[in-house]
């Protein structure tokens, strides 16, 4: 990033609030209350950059809670470079506890953070991230406000172990649920074995949404190289917290801002990287959202065209065998970038927060363990990205083909004439409660060739979009050894789940999408090569159902429970558009005076 202008102390944005002789009254009223806890006039008025620290850790966000300690090192770093740190909370988001879903809070945290960054005397901001939605919320706000911003991941937990066996966050729970359903283990054993996956502070140690989004933040250029996947308790985590604080001050003087970094080539890199990591199926939603806030065109066709053919290089659960600690030791994100750059798959010249390019940052960063971070020409899976499907059921839905198991392939993709297509009879559920109430009902006649459909689970139907599309087969089938059926739905799926579901169908049933017209007993056809998913229902019958639904007033979904649910439902855009708020993407670079 050459020829940057050097910002002078007179140009600091914070000066308007803190040292503004044209508005003495406003200045005095603003600074006097900061003084009352011991900040000196000299610190506030001598032209030091004021650096916000967006604190995402709290007792309600346990995955990020250690940021409450790490922030001390961030502040040390800020002060060491002559800045003044101001820590403030952002809306808590804990993926696994928030009801009805943590996704409802991504846009709420985004809105709150935009207002804080816009409305207070801040020249730069350190964004503390970790649990799934905390990272996109911060990146989206950084793009909208466009003051100097740098991401500090909290890092994954240490590996979980049971004896000599690795136990990965989330992934173990999907497995244990099947064991519980099959009657192999009881409930206390289920809980105690699930707890094995969480041995320390930090976020999920698998390549779920948290590790994916923090890794992609690094590849986008928004965090220091090599920082995303340092396990939370490692000493390097606190060291990089210090360096992040230092760097944020430098970024203010160098006038490096998010919109300098969040460019189309950077997003293309994120898509490629997501495939190589076997990243979460939530990543397209969040990355498309950040791109929209940054004013960059990006859609699910880009995910397929740029990402589908990229091989899986990270041997990390749920797609692989290892966890965050091995991944970090093998070289972490810089080693994967190094492989992808060597294969010509990334834009190496994109700028990053440290003022150097992605290629400069990863020079000589070969994998240190090619069983964990594989060589490009010897990958774990050859095509690890998503396929974007469309048809009369939806305009866009994604399928992660890298997690299709041999068993699944044999049962559904074994027609030699047409190896990429399958057909099945559907059983339709309206939301997760309906699924739980009825899945074991023998009258549904679910067989090993049934396709399970979940609707009413999108951002409007289940405000925020539920992670419920990966549905477990009925207990009776599990006992027969059928552990997975194809699933399709307008909701999301946990990033720690390895199910080959068809997800994020947009538009969703609740806003008139075709899934709302499907009926149990219909046949559907999925063609992965053509990118099609179609209900095999005659046009006249489809039109009849459309008219009947219109007469009922559209697809019926549960009432709002809170004011924010109502507001978000009115404004939210479909999952393929990033689930952003319709008016919000019109605002960009709002900190400029």
Site residues (vs Mg ion, CB under 5 A): 95, 132, 209, 494
φ, ψ at 430 (rounded to 5°): -100, 85
Which entry of ligand FES, Mg ion, none binds 124, CB below 5 to 8 A by partner kind? Answer: none
Note whether 204 binds ligand FES by CB under 6 A. yes
Q: How far apart are CA 54 and CA 89, in angstroms?
A: 6
Q: Decide whether 227 or 243 has the Cβ nearer to ligand FES.
A: 227
Question: Residue 387 pairs with which residues in a beta bridge?
Answer: 399
Note whether 241 binds ligand FES by CB under 6 A. no
Note whether 124 binds ligand FES by CB under 6 A. no
Residues near 585 by Cβ (< 8 Å), separated by ≥ 6? 292, 293
- Of 326, 331, 302, nearest in space to 316 by CA: 326
Note whether 158 binds ligand FES by CB under 6 A. no
Note whether 492 binds ligand FES by CB under 6 A. no
- According to DSSP, residue 3 is labeled S
Note whether 200 binds ligand FES by CB under 6 A. no
Tokens, residue 434: 């309906």
Q: Are 84 and 256 in contact (CB under 8 A)?
A: no
* Strands of 436-513, DSSP E: 450-455, 487-489, 502-506
What's the number of CA atoms in the CB half-sphere (13 Å) around residue 22? 3
Q: Are 90 and 110 in contact (CB under 8 A)?
A: no
CB of residue 62 to ligand FES, shortest distance in Å: 7
Note whether 213 binds ligand FES by CB under 6 A. no
Binding mask 23-62 for ligand FES (x = CB under 6 A): ----------------------------------------
Note whether 63 binds ligand FES by CB under 6 A. yes
Determine how many CB atoms are found less than 10 A away from the CB of residue 445. Answer: 11
CB of residue 211 to ligand FES, shortest distance in Å: 8
Residues near 189 by Cβ (< 8 Å), separated by ≥ 6? none
- HEC letters along 83-95: CEEEEEECCCCCC
CA distances from 296 to 348, 386, 485 (A): 19, 20, 37
- Binder among 31, 210, 505, 526 for ligand FES (CB under 6 A): 210
Q: How far apart are CA 55 and CA 126, in angstroms?
A: 9
CA distances from 349 to 192, 486, 529 (A): 48, 41, 33
CA distances from 273 to 25, 409, 526 (A): 51, 25, 27
Q: Which stretch binds ligand FES (CB under 6 A): 203-211, 291-299, 355-363, 367-375?
A: 203-211
43: left (phi over 0), alpha (psi -120 to 50) or beta: alpha
Which entry of ligand FES, Mg ion, none binds 43, CB below 5 to 8 A by partner kind? Answer: none
Which entry of ligand FES, Mg ion, none binds 494, CB below 5 to 8 A by partner kind? Answer: Mg ion
Q: How far apart are CA 355 and CA 248, in angstroms?
A: 11
Q: How far apart are CA 487 and CA 214, in angstroms?
A: 28
Q: Which stretch binds ligand FES (CB under 6 A): 17-25, 51-59, 200-208, 293-301?
A: 200-208
Which entry of ligand FES, Mg ion, none binds 48, CB below 5 to 8 A by partner kind? Answer: none
Which entry of Mg ion, ligand FES, none binds 131, CB below 5 to 8 A by partner kind? Answer: ligand FES
Q: Decide whether 19 or 497 has the Cβ nearer to ligand FES.
A: 497
Note whether 579 binds ligand FES by CB under 6 A. no
Note whether 13 binds ligand FES by CB under 6 A. no
- Binder among 208, 225, 473, 498 for ligand FES (CB under 6 A): 208
For residue 527, the surrounding DSSP H or E stretch is strand 523-527
Which entry of ligand FES, Mg ion, none binds 522, CB below 5 to 8 A by partner kind? Answer: none
Residue with tokens 């959202």: 289
Q: Decide whether 198 or 306 has the Cβ nearer to ligand FES.
A: 198
Which entry of ligand FES, Mg ion, none binds 249, CB below 5 to 8 A by partner kind? Answer: none
Note whether 131 binds ligand FES by CB under 6 A. yes
Exposure string for 1-26, b = 16+ CB within 10 A, e = fewer: beeeeebeeeebbbbebbbbeeeeee
CB of residue 95 to Mg ion, shortest distance in Å: 5
Q: Which stretch binds ligand FES (CB under 6 A): 204-212, 230-238, 528-536, 571-579?
A: 204-212
How big is the site for ligand FES, counted in residues (CB under 6 A)? 10
Tokens, residue 117: 């960054």
Note whether 463 binds ligand FES by CB under 6 A. no
Note whether 325 binds ligand FES by CB under 6 A. no
CB of residue 262 to ligand FES, shortest distance in Å: 23
Note whether 203 binds ligand FES by CB under 6 A. yes
Q: Decide whether 215 or 352 has the Cβ nearer to ligand FES.
A: 215
Tokens, residue 280: 């979460």
Q: Are 341 and 362 in contact (CB under 8 A)?
A: yes
Q: Which stretch binds ligand FES (CB under 6 A): 79-87, 202-210, 261-269, 318-326?
A: 202-210
CB of residue 203 to ligand FES, shortest distance in Å: 3
Interface residues with ligand FES (CB under 6 A)?
Answer: 63, 95-96, 131-132, 169, 203-204, 208, 210
């Amino acid at each position: 990033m050459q020829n940057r202008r050097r910002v002078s102390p007179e140009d600091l944005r914070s000066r308007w609030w803190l040292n503004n002789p044209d508005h003495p009254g406003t200045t005095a009223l603003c600074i006097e209350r900061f003084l009352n806890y011991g900040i000196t006039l000299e610190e506030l008025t001598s032209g030091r950059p004021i650096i916000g620290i967006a604190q995402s850790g709290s007792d309600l966000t346990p995955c990020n809670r250690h940021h409450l300690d790490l922030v001390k090192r961030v502040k040390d770093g800020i002060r060491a470079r002559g800045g003044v740190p101001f820590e403030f909370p952002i809306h808590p988001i804990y993926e696994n506890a928030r009801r009805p879903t943590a996704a409802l809070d991504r846009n709420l945290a985004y809105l709150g953070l935009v207002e804080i960054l816009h409305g207070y005397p801040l020249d730069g901001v350190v964004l503390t991230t970790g649990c799934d939605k905390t990272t996109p919320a911060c990146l989206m706000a950084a793009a909208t406000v466009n003051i100097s911003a740098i991401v500090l991941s909290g890092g994954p937990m240490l590996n979980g172990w049971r004896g000599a066996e690795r136990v990965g966050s989330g992934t173990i729970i999907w497995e244990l649920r099947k064991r519980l359903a099959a009657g192999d283990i009881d409930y206390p054993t289920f809980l105690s074995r699930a707890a094995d996956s969480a041995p320390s502070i930090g976020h999920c140690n698998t390549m779920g949404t948290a590790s994916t989004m923090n890794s992609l933040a690094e590849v986008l250029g928004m965090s220091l190289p090599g920082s995303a996947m340092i396990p939370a308790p490692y000493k390097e985590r606190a060291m990089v917290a210090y360096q992040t604080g230092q760097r944020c001050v430098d970024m203010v003087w160098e006038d490096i801002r998010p919109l300098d970094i969040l460019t189309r080539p950077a997003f293309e890199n994120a898509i490629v990287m997501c495939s190589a990591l076997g990243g979460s199926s939530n990543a397209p939603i969040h990355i498309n959202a950040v791109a929209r806030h940054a004013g960059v065109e990006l859609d699910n066709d880009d995910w397929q065209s740029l990402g589908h053919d990229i091989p899986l290089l990270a041997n990390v659960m749920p797609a692989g065998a290892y966890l965050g600690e091995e991944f970090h030791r093998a070289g972490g994100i810089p080693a994967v970038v190094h492989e992808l750059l060597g294969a010509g798959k990334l834009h190496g010249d994109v700028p990053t927060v440290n003022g150097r390019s992605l290629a400069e940052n990863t020079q000589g960063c070969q994998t240190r363990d090619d069983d964990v971070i594989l060589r490009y020409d010897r990958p774990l899976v050859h095509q690890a990205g998503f396929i974007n499907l469309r048809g009369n059921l939806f305009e866009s839905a994604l399928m992660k083909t890298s997690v299709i198991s041999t068993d699944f392939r044999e049962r559904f993709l074994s027609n030699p004439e047409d190896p990429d297509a399958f057909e099945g009879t559907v059983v339709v559920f309206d939301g997760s409660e309906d699924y739980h109430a009825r899945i074991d009902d023998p009258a549904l006649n679910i067989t090993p060739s049934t396709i399970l459909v979940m609707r009413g689970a999108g951002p409007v139907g289940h405000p925020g979009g539920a992670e419920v599309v990966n549905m477990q087969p009925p207990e009776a089938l599990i006992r027969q050894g059928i552990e997975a059926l194809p699933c399709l739905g307008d909701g999301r799926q946990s990033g720690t789940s390895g199910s080959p579901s068809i997800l994020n169908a947009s538009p969703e049933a609740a806003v008139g999408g075709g899934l709302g017209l499907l009926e149990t007993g219909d046949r559907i056809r999925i063609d992965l090569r053509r990118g099609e998913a179609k209900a095999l229902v005659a046009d006249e019958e489809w039109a009849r159902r459309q008219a009947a639904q219109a007469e009922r007033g559209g697809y019926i979904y549960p009432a709002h429970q809170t004011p924010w649910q109502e507001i978000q439902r009115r404004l939210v855009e479909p999952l393929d558009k990033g689930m952003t708020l319709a008016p919000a993407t019109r605002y960009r670079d709002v900190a400029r005076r």
